[in-house]
Structure 1
Amino acid sequence: MADRTTESIVTFQRAFSLSAIEGSLPAGRYRVVVDEDEISGLSFVAFRRTATLFYVPAMSAAAVTRQMIVIDPADLDRALTADLAPG
């Protein structure tokens, strides 16, 4: 069974919150890593998400340490959608 990892950067224009993180986070660019396992036994290639990792603080923050937190991808999608909504 094959594994794959994809990495992306998400940008928030305003402060936001995620249920896995206490309090709100500032606007900025954040690194997101998604780990997936291949689903075997199918007649086509498909993957199952096993983890979504969110790195805090923002990449633009001047911090020496970063924390990696496992988050719910649906929660991240809701936060990104809310960030796009008019003020």
Structure 2
Amino acid sequence: MSIRSQREFVTFKHPFRIRSIEHLLPEGTYEVVTDDEMIEGLSFAAYRRVATMIIVPVAGSRGAALEMVSVSSVDLADAQRVDASASDD
């Protein structure tokens, strides 16, 4: 079984929430890591998502400590959609 990891950075313009994280996260740029595993037995390369993780500040750490938290890719996309539709007031 072959697993590939990909890193990307997502930026939130407003404080936001993700369902699996109990505290409000500040606006900023966050690193997101996705792991996909290769689907064996096909005549072409295909992968399925097995994990999505985001690196966030630990609650109450004042940004000094970070943790990698497993999140649903749907919940992350929902947070990005809400952030994009929020006003910049």
Cα deviations by residue, 1:24-76 (Å, 9 ceiling, x for unpaired): 1110000100011100011211001111011012xxxx733211100000000
Aligned to 1:71: 71
RMSD: 1.6
Q: Which blocks of at least 5 consecutive residues in structure 2 are unaligned?
A: none
- Change in CA separation of 1:86 and 1:54 when aligned onto 2, cut-off 3 Å: closer
Aligned residues: 84
- 4+ residue segments displaced more than 2 Å: none
Aligned to 1:5: 5
Q: What is the TM-score normalised by the length of structure 1? A: 0.88
Identity of aligned residues (%): 39
Question: Does 1:37 pair with 2:47?
Answer: no
Instruction: Supply the distance in 1 between the matched residues of 2:69 and 2:86 (Cα, whole angstroms).
Output: 28
Instruction: Supply the distance in 2 between the matched residues of 1:86 and 1:54 (Cα, whole angstroms).
Output: 21
